[in-house]
A and B are shown apart, each in its own frame.
Chain A
Amino acid sequence: MRSRSAAGEGRRVAVSGMGAVCGLGWGIPQIWAGLRAGRPGFAPLRRFDPSQHRTRLASEVGEPPPELARSCPDWRHLSIADRFAVFAAREAVSAMGTMEATGAGLALPLGEEAGVYFGSSTGGMFESELFFREFLRDRRRGHLSTLASQQVNGPGDAVARHLGVGGPVETVSSACASGALALGVALEAVRSGEVEIAVAGGSDSLCQLTYAGFNALRSVDEEPCRPFRAGRAGMSFGEGAAVLVLEPLERVLARGATPLAELAGAGASCDAHHMTAPDPTGTGAAVALETALADAGLPAQAVDFVNVHGTGTPLNDAAEWRALQRVFGERAAAIPLVASKALVGHLLGCSGALEAVATILCLRHGELHPAPAGDPGENDPELPVSLVTGEPLPFPQARTAISTSLAFGGSNAALVFSRFPDGAA
C-alpha cells in the first residue's frame, strides 16, 4: 500500500518481538543457527506423495513440540498453517527477548488495544484437500471438521483467539506478497494510533494445490533453488509462519524493553503486466522499493543490504536485478544481497514475513546470512550481483535494510527496517 501518512507523520514503530517456524526449525534460535550456517533445509517431501509431480523436494517443517498440542484446546481443529501461526505468535509475545530469544514480553490476553494483521496464500488448503480426497472416495468418510479451518483467514483468526486479541483482525491474501503487505497494513495501524500492539506476519503450509500449480508452470527447480545463479531453474517450496509484534517505539522504551528493530517504512505497487510473470523491466518492483524508502524518509544510499525476493526463477531474478538497478544505480552490483529462499524455500504468503525476521536477525547480529556457496562458475554474467554466499558476511555497521516481495499478479511489496537505537534517529 502507498502509505496513508506522509513520511515523518505518525508514531515511530518498533518491532518489539518476533517468532517463527520454518524448515530450519521451530523458533528463532534454531532458525538463526540454520540461516547463519547457510544450511538449506530441502529434503524429499513427506507430507504427501510427490511422485505424480515433476519435483520431489521441499523445506518441510518437522513435528511440532509436544507441549504445543497440549496447550491448544482446539488443536484437532487447527490446520497446519494455523498451528504454525499460533506457535510463531506465542514466541513473538513471550517473555522478554535476549539475543537468542526474541519475545516482546507481553501479558495475555492482549485485549482491545491489539490487532492482528496476517498474510496467507492458501490457509487451510491442505486440510481441504484431505477432505475432498476422503469425500470423493467415500462420501461417508469425508470429515466435515477437516474443513473447519479451511479459510484463508484461519491462521490470523487462530492467532487472535490464542492471544486474546480484541481489536481489528484482518487477513491479506495477495499471493507471495501477502506477508509483507500485512506488515505494511500493521505498520500503518500502529503509526496512526488504530492499535497499540499489532501482531503481524504470515503463515502457509505445503499443499497439493501450490505444489502442483508451480510445477505445472515449470517454476520449480528439481534441485534446491539457486537464486541469481546461472542455470537456475526455479523456486523450491517451503512452509512456515513468521510473526512480528509492532508497537509505538516510545511505548516499548517506556516499559524498559529493547526494540529488536524499527519498521521504518513500507511500500507496494503492481506491475499490471501478467498473471504470473513479472514485468521484465522491473519498473513495478522498483516503485515498491522507492515508495517504501520514501515512507521511511530515507534515500536509497541509506540502504546497507537487500533481502531479495530471489525465488530462483529465471524471470523473477532478472526482473529484480533490473529493479535494483533502477533504485540503486551503479551501487546495485555492490550492495550485498541476502537470499533467504536458498535456505528455507519459498514460504509463499508467509515469505515476506519470514524474510522480515531474517532481515532483522542480520541487522541485530551484525552479519548477513549466506546462501550456499555453490560453484563460482554459477555466477550469472547477466546478473552481476553481490550475493552473500558460503560464509556469513560480518557487517556490524549495517543500519538499514530493505526486504522485497514480488508476487504473482505483479503484486510487489517492500519493507524498510532500521537497527535500533542508531537506525533512523
Chain B
Amino acid sequence: MSEAVATPARIKRLIVESLNLEGMRPEMIEDEAPLFGEGLGLDSVDALELVVALEKEFGIKIKSQEIGREVFSSVSSLSQFIAGRT
C-alpha cells in the first residue's frame, strides 16, 4: 500500500478525480470549506465513493462509524484524521 502523506493538496486532487466533479479543479477547494451540503455540495453517494478512494490511496481502513460529519467536514479535517491513522 501507498506510503502517501495525506496533504490537503493530495486530498483535493483525490476528491476531484474520484468524484467526477465537472468543471472543478483541486485548487478551487478551500481547506476549511464544508464538503457536504452548502460548501462543495457533495452527497452520501459521494461520501461512499470518497471513502473507497481514501482507503486505496492512503492504505488505511475507515470504519463505518468514522464516516461522520466531523471527520468528513472539510479537507483539513480529513487530512488530520488520515495523518493520525498512517
A143 touches B18 (CB 8 A): yes
CB distance from B67 to the nearest CB of A (A): 14
- Would A145 and B56 be within 8 Å (CB), given that A74-B43, A76-B20, A77-B43 are in contact? no
How far is the CB of A83 from the nearest CB of chain B, in Å?
Answer: 15
CB closest chain-B residue, reference A141: B17
Return the chain A residue nearest B52 by Cβ. A144
Residues of B within 8 A of A77 (CB): 43, 45
Residue of A nearest to B46 (CB): A145
A315 interface residue per 8 A CB criterion: no
Which residues in A have their C-beta under 8 angstroms from that of B52? 144
Query: In this assembly, does B32 line the interface, its C-beta being within 8 Å of a C-beta of chain A?
Result: no
Q: How many residues of A contact B (CB 8 A)?
A: 10
Q: Which residue of A lies closest to B18 (CB)?
A: A143
Separation of A146 and B45 alpha carbons in the complex (Å): 10
**Per-residue interface assignment for chain B, residues 1 to 27, with 1 indicating a CB less than 8 Å from any chain A CB and 0 otherwise:** 000000000000000001110100000
Residue in contact with A140 in the complex, picked from B20, B49, B56, CB distance below 8 Å: B56
Asked if B48 is at the interface (CB within 8 A of a chain A CB), the reply is yes
Contacts of B45 in A (CB 8 A): 77, 145, 148
Label chain A's interface by main secondary structure. Answer: helix
Contacts of A148 in B (CB 8 A): 45
B56 proximity list for chain A (CB < 8 A):
140
Q: How far is the CB of A378 from chain B (nearest CB, A)?
A: 46
Is the CB–CB distance between B20 and A143 below 8 Å? Answer: yes
When the two chains form their complex, are residues B43 and A143 in contact, meaning their CB atoms are under 8 A apart?
A: no
Q: Which of B22, B43, B48 contacts A144 (CB 8 A)?
A: B48
**Residues on the B chain within 8 Å of A146, using CB:** 20
Residues of B contacting A144 with CB < 8 Å?
48-49, 52
- CB contacts under 8 Å to B, within A112-168, are 140, 143-146, 148
Complex alpha-carbon distance, A140 and B22, angstroms: 18
Contacts of A73 in B (CB 8 A): 43
- Identify which of B20, B22, B45 gathers the most chain A CB atoms within 10 Å of its CB: B45
Within 8 A of A (CB), among B17-53: 18-20, 22, 43, 45-46, 48-49, 52
B19 proximity list for chain A (CB < 8 A): 143, 145
Q: In whole angstroms, what is the CA distance A148 to B52 when docked? A: 14
Bound: A73/B20 CA distance, A: 15
Q: Which of A73, A143, A144 lies at the interface centre, i.e. has the most chain B CB atoms within 10 A of its CB?
A: A144
Q: Give Cα distance in the complex from A73 to B42, angstroms.
A: 10
Report Cα–Cα, A381/B32, bound state, in Å.
Answer: 75
CB distance from B44 to the nearest CB of A (A): 10
What is A's interface to B at a CB cutoff of 8 Å?
73-74, 76-77, 140, 143-146, 148
Add 19 more A-B contacts to A76-B20, A143-B20, A144-B52 (CB < 8 A): A73-B43, A74-B43, A76-B22, A77-B43, A77-B45, A140-B56, A143-B18, A143-B19, A143-B49, A144-B48, A144-B49, A145-B19, A145-B20, A145-B45, A145-B46, A145-B48, A145-B49, A146-B20, A148-B45
- 5 intermolecular pairs with C-beta atoms under 8 Å apart: A73-B43, A77-B45, A140-B56, A143-B20, A148-B45
Q: Which 3 residue pairs spanning A and B have beta carbons closest together? A: A145-B49, A148-B45, A144-B49
